[in-house]
Amino acid sequence: MKKIYKILLIVLGLIIVVLGGLYLAFNEKKPTGIVSKDADTLALKMTTALGKSVWDSTNVIKWTFKGVHTYVWNKKDEQVLVKWDEYEVYLNLKDWQKGKAFENGVAVADKKMDIYRGRAYEFFCNDSFWLMAPFKVFDEGVSRQIVDTPEGQNLLVSYTSGGVTPGDSYLWQIGEDGKPVSYKMWVKIIPIGGVKATWESWIETQKGLFLAQNHKLGSLSLEMENIKTGQSLTAVGESETLFDKIK
């Protein structure tokens, strides 16, 4: 027994050494930027290139994240349907108590419903960010700074509030056409700072509105599939009565 215990300690020690080595090798310190009008100008260049005015006036968005989570977001009325596995969760973002959850088509209630609603909300906050992050750089509680890098001037965006992980920061690399190429992340969910994710495979879902369909983090690919946007639920293939149960 003592021999097994000693072996386990050695293995644990090796794991700690390896993880520590990886952290030292790949972790990047968050850069310090400069708050200036140039930062706002660069942020505006990005939002304009992607069609923020069209995004703001778009009422409904439907998409699937990584082939796992499917969303119907009634942005105008602040309602969201989240589907995954055997679950369907309807969220009323204006009145949490009106939310509903279903498992294999059967309504659930009490603590179980709260668990599913909470899980659906976390999914939505994360997955919608990968869809619309460029349009959130002027949100309340967001700071913008210019950072000089070998690639040129980048935009450091930090969130002090909102979502489920306030305090996260993103360093955007923006192309000449105003579309983002990638960002590096300093976020609570990832222990290593400076992890890079691409923004690519752009599509124009409505005239003047551009959304990225893919993000690559090393060998990992985060795909946005079947993106549809419009002014009504019918425009994205859903019934206009979809959210009646949580009004």
SS3 string, 17-44, reads: HHHHHHHHHHCCCCCCCECCHHHHHHHH
Global pTM value: 0.86
d(CA 6, CA 42) in angstroms, rounded, equals 57
Cβ 80 vs Cβ 74: under 8 Å: yes
Q: What is the dihedral of CA 197, 198, 202, 206, to 10 degrees?
A: 30
Question: pLDDT tens across 167-194, in order?
Answer: 899 999 999 999 999 999 999 989 999 9
Query: Does the residue 231 lie in any domain?
Result: yes
Residue 41 belongs to a domain: yes
pLDDT of residue 22: 36
What is the per-residue pLDDT across 76-111, written as a single tens digit (0 to 9) for each? 999 999 999 999 999 999 999 999 999 999 999 989
d(CA 211, CA 18) in angstroms, rounded, equals 38
Q: Look at residue 37 and tell me if it is in a domain.
A: yes
pLDDT beneath 70, residues of the chain: 1-26, 162-165
Q: How far apart are CA 113 and CA 107, in angstroms?
A: 8
Range of the domain at 222: 32-238
Task: Supply the DSSP symbol for 177.
Answer: T
Domain count, the chain: 1
Tell me, yes or no, whether 20 lies in a domain.
Answer: no
C-alpha Rg value of the chain to the nearest Å: 21
156 within some domain:
yes
Residue 171 lies in a domain: yes
Query: Does 55 reside within a domain?
Result: yes
Residue 119 within any structural domain of the chain: yes
Q: Phi/psi of residue 139, each to 5°?
A: -65, 160
| Residue 141 zone, left/alpha/beta (φ > 0; ψ -120 to 50; rest) | left
